[in-house]
Structure 1
Amino acid sequence: MTQNAKSKSRSAARLAAVQAIYQQDMEGMKLAPLLHEFHEHRLGAEIEDAQYADAEVSFFDDIVSGVDARRDEIDAMIESRLASGWSLKRLDKTMHQILRCGTYELMARADVPVATAITEYVDVAHAFFDKKDAGFVNGLLDAIAKEVRR
């Protein structure tokens, strides 16, 4: 796999992980059936004439499993970086999942450079939000990176 192909497959894995964590949060799905659904029906599949990019499955699994296992720790880290008067409950649900996945990757994936992780989740944010909100993702993940990647 070329470096560019690996990069694209990791980008696809990150976007799919955000979607999976969102689905889990909304529906209360257990981890095993959630991963199974994405493996069988989403990763690299065609849905409503949209072709989903091939995602690096092991990378996707690590992010989703990691967020699932460390959700409380991740949420505490995110909440501690929110402005005074803000709480996780005030965050848009999609924004919350982007921040969870990005925080997990910064905490647990030392093999991924900080700049790469932050840029990738800012790109995911651009798919759902405007420039200001993507900037929020950048600032919050940068603050978390400074603590977890000293």
Structure 2
Amino acid sequence: MPNSFTDSRRDLRERAFQALFSLEFSGQMPAGAHFAYEYDKDEGEDLDTPLFLLNLTQGVMAHQDEIDQLIAANLKPGWTLSRLTLVDKTLLRLGLYEIKYYDETPDRVALNEIIEIAKKYSDETSSKFINGLLSQFINE
């Protein structure tokens, strides 16, 4: 039986990914995440739910330089952050933010959720790559 709390959290993680991805092009955070509040309001969802989305998107933005340094330091020799696809880079940022900085989510849950989103927006190779890189931060 689906857990609506988990399902809504995954939906909001996915929306955070979409907002962060769109930020790479527009640079405007409020416009990128505003739709989530409207969606929840229209559906009669708990109005605290968009706070999770905003925490994720604003948290990634606030820590992006640190997150990018951590990702770059854990790439294979010869690889750079600029070599990653925008989808993979955005997913890594979101997943690593939730693992390293967002204490409300257990690390393994954050990892599993970002892998599921990666499977939807990327391919199997990317989801394995994301799993391998982010797993390094859980095992430390």
Give 1:27 deviation, angstroms: 1.6
Q: Residues 87 and 26 of structure 1: is their aligned pair in 2 closer, same or farther, counting only changes over 3 Å?
A: same
Give 1:70 deviation, angstroms: 0.8
1:100 equivalent to 2:85? Answer no
Cross-structure match for 1:50:
none
Report the TM-score, using the length of structure 2 for normalisation: 0.86
Q: What is the alpha-carbon distance in structure 1 between the residues aligned to residue 27 and residue 88 of structure 2?
A: 18
Cross-structure match for 2:12:
13
Consecutive unaligned residues in structure 1, runs of 5 or more: 46-53
Q: What is the alpha-carbon distance in structure 1 between the residues aligned to residue 19 and residue 31 of structure 2?
A: 11
Cross-structure match for 1:69:
62
1:24 equivalent to 2:17? Answer no
Q: What is the alpha-carbon distance in structure 1 between the residues aligned to residue 124 and residue 35 of structure 2?
A: 32
Q: What is the alpha-carbon distance in structure 2 between the residues aligned to residue 37 and residue 44 of structure 1?
A: 9
Q: What is the alpha-carbon distance in structure 1 between the residues aligned to residue 57 and residue 97 of structure 2?
A: 9
Cross-structure match for 2:37:
39
**Structure 2 residue identity aligned to 1:144:** F
- RCO comparison, higher one (Cα < 8 Å, 6+): 1
Query: Which one of 78, 92, 98 corresponds to residue 85 of structure 1?
Result: 78
Give 1:35 deviation, angstroms: 2.9
Identity %: 31
Give 1:111 deviation, angstroms: 2.3
1:23-58 residue CA offsets vs partner (Å, 9 max, x unmatched): 0112222x3333334433xx459xxxxxxxx99311
Cross-structure match for 2:110:
117
The structure where helix makes up a greater share of residues is: 2
**Secondary structure of the corresponding residue to residue 110 of structure 2:** helix
Q: Residues 34 and 129 of structure 1: is their aligned pair in 2 closer, same or farther, counting only changes over 3 Å?
A: closer
Report the count of equivalent residues: 136
**Secondary structure of the corresponding residue to residue 3 of structure 2:** helix
Q: What is the alpha-carbon distance in structure 2 between the residues aligned to residue 32 and residue 112 of structure 1?
A: 24
1:142 equivalent to 2:140? Answer no
**Structure 1 residue identity aligned to 2:30:** A
Residues 12, 56 of structure 1: 8 Å contact kept: no
Cross-structure match for 1:58:
51
Report the TM-score, using the length of structure 1 for normalisation: 0.81
Q: What is the alpha-carbon distance in structure 1 between the residues aligned to residue 4 and residue 78 of structure 2?
A: 42
Consecutive unaligned residues in structure 2, runs of 5 or more: none
